[in-house]
């Protein structure tokens, strides 16, 4: 007789015995404590007393033979082992939750809060569109927007302090997903009164002009990618916190700036701007939707992902 192979993992009797000894409720406590990184807040979320959560954390430490959390300021900070456990445990909990009867996501009745980062300058283009669309089809859902990334963004995505990022940067690290949404054409913007407007035709011409840009030392600065050498950086005369303020300075000076065509067009008449082709190798940028894979099995997350894709690709 030919033995049939199966992909189903074989669980030994010893492993079955170990699983019977595990209180799976502790994993829910672990998940919330990891997200809140504060025992009192975790207790409030779980509807438990603070001593009960502290006791559960103590049992988790024994279960995993690790401290898991150490005091940090007024809260707690996860250990390396806790960070390693968080993704698999969260995925397992979400997988179980999604398979329970009545566990589907109902956007019309949901009161869930989604935290989104729509990076500048895309925020001025997409935030109101996303907000209005969600309000129209799921009025009880709340959206919390921010417009800038920082060095902790991977941490924030991993622990779902931020659930989605929409921006020009893709996340190429393991356990992160980035989906291209659309391609943005980049242009050169100058005042209509610029005395050399008709002569800005080549790359060399561009670098002979004074530039205005978004501050380069800001994390994930929109402008930094074009000013990747000391020579190019020396052309910058003004650095602003937002691209709209950069365009305002350009409109009143002989400086030039690099911007998405849609943003430049929005201010063309108001600021009396001229839009020129960008004669540089990098004259377009892809906008991405990014998230951490640990959230991907959650049905609410999947709903929002599909909605954001449909909104942004239009």
Per-residue pLDDT, 163: 92
Residues with Cβ < 8 Å from 82, sequence gap 6 or more? Answer: 30, 34, 66, 68, 69
Report the alpha-carbon distance of residue 303 to residue 112 in Å, rounded: 12
Per-residue pLDDT, 198: 75
Per-residue pLDDT, 5: 45
Per-residue pLDDT, 6: 45
Q: Output Rg (C-alpha) for the chain, integer angstroms.
A: 25
Place of tokens 């994993």: 27
Which residues on adjacent β-strands are paired with residue 114? 143
Per-residue pLDDT, 2: 43
Q: What is the distance of C-alpha 312 from the center of its chain? A: 15
Structure tokens of 141? Answer: 């859902």
Report the alpha-carbon distance of residue 220 to residue 153 in Å, rounded: 11
Per-residue pLDDT of the chain (314 residues; tens, 9 = 90+): 444 444 445 545 555 556 566 777 899 999 899 888 899 999 998 999 999 999 999 999 998 999 999 988 888 999 999 988 887 887 777 777 766 665 567 888 888 889 999 999 999 989 999 999 999 999 999 999 999 888 889 888 887 789 999 999 999 888 899 999 999 999 999 999 999 887 667 899 999 999 999 999 989 899 999 999 999 999 999 999 999 999 999 999 999 999 999 999 999 999 999 999 999 999 999 999 999 987 877 888 999 999 999 999 86
Report the alpha-carbon distance of residue 183 to residue 193 in Å, rounded: 30
Report the alpha-carbon distance of residue 158 to residue 294 in Å, rounded: 7
The phi and psi torsions of 134 (rounded to 5 degrees) equal: -65, -40
Which residues on adjacent β-strands are paired with residue 115? 144
For 96, other C-beta atoms within 10 Å of its C-beta total 13
CA distances (Å), 278 to each of 17, 178, 188, 202, in order?
A: 66, 27, 5, 9
User: Which helix (H) or strand (E) segment is 165 a member of?
Assistant: strand 164-167
């Amino acid at each position: 007789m030919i033995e049939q192979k199966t992909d189903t993992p074989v669980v030994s009797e010893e492993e079955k015995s170990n699983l019977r000894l595990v209180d799976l409720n502790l994993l829910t406590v672990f998940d919330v404590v990891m997200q809140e990184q504060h025992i009192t807040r975790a207790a409030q979320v779980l509807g438990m007393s603070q001593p009960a959560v502290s006791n559960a954390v103590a049992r988790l430490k024994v279960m995993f033979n690790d401290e898991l959390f150490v005091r940090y300021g007024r809260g707690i900070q996860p250990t390396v082992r806790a960070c390693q456990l968080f993704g698999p445990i969260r995925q397992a909990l979400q997988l179980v939750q999604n398979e329970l009867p009545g566990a589907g996501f109902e956007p019309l009745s949901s009161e869930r809060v989604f935290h989104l980062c729509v990076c500048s300058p895309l925020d001025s283009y997409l935030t109101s569109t996303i907000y209005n669309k969600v309000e129209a089809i799921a009025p009880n859902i709340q959206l919390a927007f921010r417009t800038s990334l920082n060095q902790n963004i991977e941490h924030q995505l991993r622990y779902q302090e931020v659930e989605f990022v929409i921006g020009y940067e893709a996340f190429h690290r393991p356990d992160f997903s980035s989906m291209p949404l659309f391609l943005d054409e980049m242009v050169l913007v100058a005042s209509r009164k610029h005395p050399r407007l008709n002569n800005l035709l080549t790359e060399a011409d561009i670098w002979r002009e004074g530039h205005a840009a978004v501050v380069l030392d800001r994390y994930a600065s929109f402008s930094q990618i074009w000013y990747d050498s000391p020579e190019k950086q020396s052309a910058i005369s003004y650095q602003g916190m937002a691209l709209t303020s950069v365009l305002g300075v350009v409109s009143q000076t002989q400086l030039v700036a690099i911007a998405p065509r849609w943003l430049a067009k929005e201010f063309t008449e108001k600021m009396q701007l001229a839009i020129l082709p960008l004669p540089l190798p990098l004259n377009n940028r892809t906008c991405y939707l990014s998230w951490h894979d640990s959230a991907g099995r959650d049905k609410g997350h999947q709903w929002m992902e599909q909605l954001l894709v449909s909104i942004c690709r239009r």
